[in-house]
Amino acid sequence: MIDEAVAAIRAGKPVVLPTDTVYGLCADAESETAALEVARLKGRAATQPTALVAGDVYRLLERVPELDERVLRPLLPGPYTLVLPNPARRYPWLTGDNPEAIGVRVPRLRGPAAEVLDRVGALLATSANEHGGPDPRRLEDVPEGIRRACGALVDGGELPGTPSTVLDLTGPEPKVLREGAVPAAEALGLLAATTGR
């Protein structure tokens, strides 16, 4: 299962992996073609942003060295997507229509998904549902059309089913873009206590 998923990602194919929140539709973060295919499978515009996902903060900083580590460390790893300044405009195929910002995640993974991410280094990831559809808690909740189009499916059992909390940290004050797995007030409190923001 792990070898099959790693091979599929390296071949440019999307895969379904369990995350710490919901099942994710994932692919090679370095491939614009893979990003376009993920958007097509979800039925959403390529101008919508997709998260860059790494197994740890160090690997995230290898790919986007301009990120502020002081902001990352209090919340990651965890069930958050952080939208941060992207001054070098890295990964334009993931940033949607705002190349000055990039969404990043370091989920708390375990089992096969953690090993897949460790072996490939980084992924692009979004929830494995059709655009606007329910978030998949189980592998069988992923729409059949998405499952059929993927190079590998990794079953991690039943997941919490609530997507990550999304915080926009590009401005002077943090903004909550989506209330998710962690209450926004808790996330903002943690951020304020550790960074003064």
Query: Does 195 have pLDDT greater than 90?
Result: no
* Ordered structural domains, the chain, with CATH: 2-195 (3.90.870.10)
8-53 per-position pLDDT tens digit: 999 999 999 999 999 999 999 999 999 999 999 999 998 999 999 9
Cα of first residue to Cα of last residue in the chain, in angstroms, is 42
Cα dihedral across residues 140, 77, 87, 194: positive or negative: positive
pLDDT at 197 > cutoff 70: no
Instruction: Tell me if 21 sits within 8 A of 131, measured CB to CB.
Output: no
Q: What is the pLDDT of residues 155-178, one digit of tens each?
A: 999 999 999 999 999 999 999 999
Q: Which residue has the higher pLDDT, 191 or 67?
A: 67
pLDDT band at 122 (very low <50, low <70, confident <90, very high): very high
The 8 Å CB, 24+ separation contacts for 110-115 are 111/18, 111/156, 112/1, 112/2, 112/5, 112/17, 112/154, 112/156, 113/17, 113/18, 113/19, 113/154, 113/156, 114/55, 115/2
What is the model's pLDDT at position 136?
Answer: 97
Across the chain, mean pLDDT equals 94
Q: Could you report the per-residue pLDDT of 174-191, keeping only the tens digit for each?
A: 999 999 998 988 888 888
Query: In what side-by-side order are the strands of the sheet with 175-178?
Result: 152-153, 15-18, 23-28, 122-127, 51-54, 101-105, 80-85, 165-168, 175-178
Residue 194 pLDDT greater than 80, yes or no: no
